Structure 1
């Protein structure tokens, strides 16, 4: 049934007044509800903004704070020294760099009979991947036989090249964790990291994937929490800064300008990254030159003839 037809009586003045008052009351109540809702939204927005600013400040403070922190054991030179021994490749044990301390350069074998191979590598660097996968077995044979020592310096110069996951830093930290808790597994862990190397600009391997590689290399389970906590983040940042500012011990290099930086008895290898024969020849040549220098006898000074 419809209402408001032509025969419907017109409301009186009082009825119109009451209807207007009721409508006004409803409008006031609706406005109060909107005001309360807007107030809550504004308060919530202010709180979110405050939290966001606070988070930004904390991030900036942490990001600009000095890295600091002690280094891992067995990396007193900022690198781990691997030598041949009974049962395979072993690490030279060294104390950790103390918080705020400086690294102690490795004293190379100067007998001329051992090649001292030193590498500065970034686990995201594709050129490092080429060098490592090409020469891994050559270096393994040389170290196991006692013909060479291998000193590996993990650094993180490509931390911002992994879609925000800081893979270079996390990977170098993982290497430090293995050096501290399972140094005997370092060579194999290092090799596996390059065999499974992610592409630059990708998110890189997850911590769980890195931990699986550490376990596959024979590392102890104590490495896992060290990886998850990024325990040696400060040391990685410090070691990277030291490599980039130099000087590089036991060489004539002012600093590391890219990775891989490979030295043999202090001489930099700049040959092919994908030709193991070329690298092996360079190692033999550097070792031969060192041997010649160590065995060279000075030319005797002639004795003046008697007058």
Structure 2
């Protein structure tokens, strides 16, 4: 005789087991789906992050190789040429020009944070000004920024060279006087140097400076900073207009008719006068070593 209650109980247990197995199977399936979704989400998120990182790196690289743009039109070769009347003239002459009727060519590479540059300026600036003003010589002044890392992170050397370029662009007739003023107020190396506001007051305070508002904006915006940086890299890499040198000895580099002047210690005007006359040779433009200096332009700064 069949025991139906017992069979029914066994069948019920089997049904429960099957139902439990199916629930477990569904749970595992759902868990796998969730895991796949999570992995897909992570992969998509990681892809987005990687794409964003690539975009940022690309922008940085593009910005880093972006051309610096043209410098002032008066500094086509990186320096401004000052001639008779202390006014800018055309492009800087080449070092191998030998026409005896030409004025003596003085070429200077200077850094406005360079101590030795300031010493040379103090000893010889007025003498050079007298030669140039009279037409006996021209002077090419190339501001460079090789000491940018010696001003507590403020990049004073670069900012000062940019300020000089701003003047070359907007008020070139006063460039020589501004060059003198920048050396007269030269800060010590290892200090933060002058602020942009102080540079603005110094430069625009030089007698006769024109377009002061535009110069202030140019200094504040560092309009020519990248150009100065690029020119400095070229010069230190051996591209030295006005010279036959293939290696930059550091500032100040002073040349007369392409011949390098070896700095003395101490730097004296007598020694430089002698060198100028010697480098000029038998040229009709040979300057007198006793030329009377012209007064320097005054400047005010805060």
Q: Please give the TM-score of this superposition, normalised by the length of structure 2.
A: 0.69
Deviation, structure 1 residue 250: 4.0
Residues 163/120 of structure 1: CA separation in 2 closer, same or farther (3 Å cut): same
Whether the 8 Å CA contact 1:157–1:168 is kept in 2: the answer is yes
Q: Distance in 2 between matches of 1:60 and 1:261?
A: 34
Question: Does the alignment pair 1:91 with 2:88?
Answer: yes
The structure with the largest alpha-carbon Rg is: 2
Residues 213/254 of structure 1: CA separation in 2 closer, same or farther (3 Å cut): same
Whether the 8 Å CA contact 2:256–2:279 is kept in 1: the answer is yes
Q: Distance in 2 between matches of 1:57 and 1:209?
A: 36
Residues 264/205 of structure 1: CA separation in 2 closer, same or farther (3 Å cut): same
> Aligned with 2:109: secondary structure?
strand
**Other-structure match for 1:179:** 168
Q: Distance in 1 between matches of 2:71 and 2:90?
A: 13
Residues 124/57 of structure 1: CA separation in 2 closer, same or farther (3 Å cut): farther
**Other-structure match for 2:241:** 249
Whether the 8 Å CA contact 2:94–2:243 is kept in 1: the answer is no
Aligned pairs for 1:225-236 within 5 A: 225-236=217-228
Aligned pairs for 1:72-91 within 5 A: 72-85=72-85, 89-91=86-88
Q: Please give the TM-score of this superposition, normalised by the length of structure 1.
A: 0.68
Q: Distance in 2 between matches of 1:78 and 1:211?
A: 22
Q: Distance in 2 between matches of 1:183 and 1:161?
A: 28
Question: Does the alignment pair 1:275 with 2:268?
Answer: yes
Q: Distance in 1 between matches of 2:204 and 2:58?
A: 35
Question: Does the alignment pair 1:119 with 2:108?
Answer: yes
5+ unaligned residues in a row in structure 2: which ranges?
A: 1-52, 286-302
**Other-structure match for 1:304:** none
Aligned pairs for 1:108-187 within 5 A: 110-113=98-101, 114-187=103-176
**Other-structure match for 1:288:** 281
Deviation, structure 1 residue 111: 2.6
Deviation, structure 1 residue 129: 0.7
Whether the 8 Å CA contact 2:84–2:133 is kept in 1: the answer is yes
| 1:209 aligns with one of 192, 195, 198 | 198
Whether the 8 Å CA contact 2:159–2:222 is kept in 1: the answer is yes
> Aligned with 2:74: secondary structure?
coil
Q: Distance in 2 between matches of 1:59 and 1:205?
A: 32
Whether the 8 Å CA contact 1:73–1:93 is kept in 2: the answer is no
Q: Distance in 2 between matches of 1:62 and 1:126?
A: 36
Q: Distance in 2 between matches of 1:139 and 1:276?
A: 10
Whether the 8 Å CA contact 2:77–2:241 is kept in 1: the answer is no
| 1:264 aligns with one of 253, 256, 268 | 256
Tell me the alpha carbon deviations over residues 16-59 of structure 1, each in whole angstroms, 9 at most, x when there is no partner. Answer: xxxxxxxxxxxxxxxxxxxxxxxxxxxxxxxxxxxxx9xx9799
Higher relative contact order (CA 8 A, sep 6+): 2
Deviation, structure 1 residue 280: 0.9
Deviation, structure 1 residue 66: 4.4
**Other-structure match for 1:219:** 209
Q: Distance in 2 between matches of 1:133 and 1:211?
A: 22
5+ unaligned residues in a row in structure 1: which ranges?
A: 1-52, 95-104, 293-307
Deviation, structure 1 residue 92: 1.6
Deviation, structure 1 residue 210: 1.2
Tell me the alpha carbon deviations over residues 119-138 of structure 1, each in whole angstroms, 9 at most, x when there is no partner. Answer: 00000011111111111100
Tell me the alpha carbon deviations over residues 90-139 of structure 1, each in whole angstroms, 9 at most, x when there is no partner. Answer: 01256xxxxxxxxxx63466333521000000000111111111111000
